[in-house]
Amino acid sequence: MGHTLFKPLLLTTALLACAPLAQAASTLVYCSEASPAGFDPSQYTSGTDFDASAETVFNRLTQFKRGGTEVEPGLATRWDVSPDGLTYTFHLRDGVKFHTTDYFTPTRTFNADDVLFTFNRLLDANHPFRKAYPSESPYFTDMGLNTTIKSVEKVDP
Q: What is the C-alpha separation between 53 and 44, in angstroms, rounded?
A: 9
pLDDT greater than 90 at residue 148: yes
Q: Would you kindly state where each structural domain of the chain is located, as residue ranges? A: 28-58
Coil, strand, or helix at residue 138?
helix
pLDDT greater than 80 at residue 97: yes
Mean pLDDT (whole number) for 53-70: 89
pLDDT greater than 80 at residue 79: yes
| pLDDT for the residue 87 | 97
By C-alpha distance, which of 155, 154, 137 is closest to 146? 137
Indicate whether this model's pTM tops 0.85: no
